[in-house]
Homo-oligomer: A and B are copies of this chain.
């Protein structure tokens, strides 16, 4: 299992607002059986590598379907093999130490 944060920016859309694009991405995740969390700067997704990457590919494709000519996508993947660690586990672990 991996935890990935994704941020997708359609370039040259003509408007500084991106929320309608992001909403389309989130709708794609809603249609899947995948855990995710929207943050002010991206979307954190939890799942198997292939599952997560397929979702991200679809989100990026959605930008082109809705008029983007260029898309810049940033993905940060955290994969840990010494123990299972969910999105919530990671938050809990930090909070317990503050």
A window 79-98: CB within 8 A of B: 79-82, 87-88, 90-91, 93-98
* A-to-B contact residues, CB < 8 Å: 3, 5, 7, 9, 11-20, 22-23, 26-27, 30, 37-42, 44, 49, 53, 57, 60, 64, 69-82, 87-88, 90-91, 93-98
Contacting A40 at CB < 8 Å: which of B13, B44, B49, B70?
A: B44
Residues on B with C-beta less than 8 A from A37 are 39-40
Question: 7 tightest A-B contacts by CB?
Answer: A23-B97, A16-B70, A40-B87, A12-B16, A19-B93, A5-B41, A69-B82
Q: Closest approach, in angstroms, between the C-beta of A96 and any C-beta of chain B?
A: 8
